[in-house]
Chains A and B, each alone.
Chain A
Amino acid sequence: MATSIELRKLEKSYGDVAVIHGVDLTIAPGDFTVFVGPSGCGKSTLLRMIAGLEPITGGDLLIDGQRMNEVPAARRGIAMVFQSYALYPHMSVYQNLAFGLETAKMPKPEIETRVRRAAEILKIEPLLQRKPKQLSGGQRQRVAIGRAIVREPKIFLFDEPLSNLDAELRVAMRVEIAKLHNDLGNTMIYVTHDQVEAMTMADKIVVLRSGVIEQAGAPLELYNTPRNLFVAGFIGSPKMNFLTVNEETGALKTGGNRLSLGRNSAGAATLGIRPEHITINEGSGVKFADVRVDLVENLGGQTVVYATTGDGQGLNIVLEGQRAVELDASVSAYLDPAKAHIFNAEGLAIR
């Protein structure tokens, strides 16, 4: 039932300016794939190329094995939810939902059935006669999703659908979209710049930068084994700490400390360690730095420590539970070598 998508050396350029540089990607049927990256990385362009809203400059787009490069958007079996929702302001919610079906000249009773069913799924039945301007942001979002559902497409595309909602609603809608995916089982592609959305929703995350895939994989795969500095820094919140190190005969020197990870570290230039993987308890790992505490945030469940190493590098530490850490105190930081990441001078991970 569900549909596979394959991108082969997909390229996009505007005149001489190339924005997508030969992207290869396979999306398994029924997968929830998230394109994530900073603004301008090409994630929305890539989505629009799949949708058929942007012409493809080079390479192939295959949907269920069929080449789709020149197939018009309407015949690709795709529905898309826009960041702005793109609801027709002069039509009622019902008419908005029915528009695509009427365009396809579907019989009225069938349209009615489909619209009612979508409205039921999204709990917007009481809103069907309203105009979009009479709806809240969250309700508009539901209608926009409803408009995609009624067409019963093979593939759903979401272009930053939650970025116009407030933080609380965003979390709620995130959960609903994930549930929707579980219920419908369609292949879905979701574009966001928010790595938390990516981590929580995706079966597969595709990290893009400057029109190139930096890494694609399951969320925890990207979290545990980032391929380079960019992915390491982009995935995970708060951000991974990066410390400049010198590698000498199998050991890393940072500040005044010598640290051995017990694995190949030849050519290491940067040590990456996530804030939540650092402790200040003596004897729980390998000591790698003596730091001065600049600021402490007590969040209740966690204690966040902002510190500076002896050689002036910033280090963020997230400690579980409520900890008494004094400002300006000098503490030793420890890490578990298995959870440390090392990168060479080009920024690539050393395994």
Chain B
Amino acid sequence: MTARSFETGTPAGERAGSPSLWSRIWQQDAPGYLFLLPWFIGFFGLTLGPMISSLYLSFTHFDLLTAPRWAGLDNYVRMFTNDPKFSASMRVTMFFVIFSVPLKLAFALGVALLLNRGMKGLPLYRALFYLPSLLGASVAIAILWRQIFAGDGLVNKFLALFGIIGPSWISNPNYSLWTLIVLSIWQFGSPMIIFLAGLRQIPQDMYEAASLDGASKWRQFWKITLPLLTPVVFFNAIIQTIEAFKSFTPAFIISGGTGNPINSTLFYTLYLYQEAFGFFRMGYASALAWVLLALVAIFTAFSFLTSKYWVHYDD
């Protein structure tokens, strides 16, 4: 007993009587760490490791075939001074974020309000409306979406019934990004579920008190529902904005990986992908990825800083 404690280097005071501190910790906690092992492997091997190496690569020129060459800040300088595609893709992604996130949240909140009116079959509708969120970002749906919005797609066939000749929604640069925004709004299920849960948290007697005060449904929404829902709005806005910045699959499928027509759907992530796996400029692509991370971090920090002025926490 004493010898073992000595080996593990436990201080003298803890040696007497019982097993040493370290062996106790090992005996008690080993199963816990064992269960954590897959996560540790995943986190260090597949997340933290690649992040650190991409940070390093962002300061190099690297074509996957020859060893990375140190380039200092070259990649970053080029990005901001001499890359029209970078600014084009940034514009597309910003446009997408600025329009798709508020529209999606508003739509999700609207449906949640409808569902919250105590209708029959609520679980069924909830599941049905949630379904697009599960399918939405998948390749299959993006392909289906391409069929629906193509020049001879379902949408135009429907419009033709009324004598309207619709454009090709995905190959016309005026509409292509909007088609992707609509696809994103269609995946409103996840914020809707969270809004619904938030609405359920608002005590009924607040509405009763307000209705005794003569407040209309409209006024109740703006003065009670929305302010009390701000923590949920805040959460959804952050999550959806990050999702929107990261959005890749639909643009890739619908434009066939090109970001066309005339770069109108060249999402930032799509451009990053082209640089990495089209031109094998891994160093530059890594730098693009880190700029995106910084952008998302700045946005999130800004949101948290402003939240105290518009998010109402109950307690």
Contacts and interface: CB of A to CB of B under 8 A. Distances in A.
A114 to B, nearest CB: 13
Contacts of A56: none
A53 interface: yes
Contacts of A89: 228, 312, 314
B314 A74 contact: no
Contact of A74 (B211, B227, B230): B211
Nearest to B213: A100
A78, A100, A104: most-surrounded residue (chain B CB, <10 A): A100
A78 B213 contact: no
A73 B223 CA distance: 19
Contacts of B312: 89-90
Contacts of B206: 86, 88
Given A82-B208, A89-B228, A89-B314, A74 B203 contact: no
A86 B203 contact: yes
Interface residues of B, number: 20
A249 to B, nearest CB: 59
A136 interface: no
Interface string A35-79: 000000000000000011100000000000000000011110011
B208 A53 contact: yes
Counting chain B CB atoms within 10 Å of each CB, which of A84, A86, A151 scores highest?
A86
Given A86-B203, A89-B228, A90-B228, A74 B212 contact: yes
Contacts of A53: 208, 211-212
A226 B223 CA distance: 49
B209 interface: yes
A103 B212 contact: no
Interface of A: 51-53, 72-75, 78-80, 82-84, 86, 88-90, 99-100, 103-104, 133, 147, 151
30 contacts: A51-B212, A53-B208, A72-B211, A73-B208, A74-B212, A74-B213, A75-B214, A78-B212, A79-B212, A80-B209, A80-B212, A82-B208, A83-B205, A84-B203, A84-B205, A86-B208, A88-B206, A88-B223, A88-B227, A89-B314, A90-B227, A90-B312, A99-B210, A99-B213, A99-B215, A100-B215, A104-B213, A133-B314, A133-B315, A147-B209
Q: Which 6 A-B pairs have CB atoms at the shortest separation, nearest pair first?
A: A74-B214, A100-B213, A90-B312, A86-B205, A86-B209, A90-B227
